[in-house]
């Protein structure tokens, strides 16, 4: 798994995947919180 979304962007991976991952993490964080 990439360390930071910025690195992934530099690599050139689809930003949609990154956004989905970030959104999922944030959603799960809100749910647990």
Q: Give me the pLDDT at residue 12, please.
A: 61
Q: What's the pLDDT score for residue 8?
A: 57
- For the stretch 1-32, pLDDT in tens is 556 666 655 566 567 788 888 889 988 887 76
The predicted model scores a pTM of: 0.41
Distance CA 15, CA 21 (A): 10
**In whole angstroms, how large is the CA radius of gyration of the chain?**
11
pLDDT for res 28? 87
- What does the pLDDT read at residue 17? 80
CA dist., res. 27 & res. 33, Å (int): 10
CA distance 18 to 4: 10
């Amino acid at each position: 798994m990439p360390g930071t979304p910025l690195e992934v962007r530099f690599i050139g991976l689809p930003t949609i995947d990154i956004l989905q991952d970030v959104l999922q993490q944030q959603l799960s964080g809100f749910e647990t919180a």
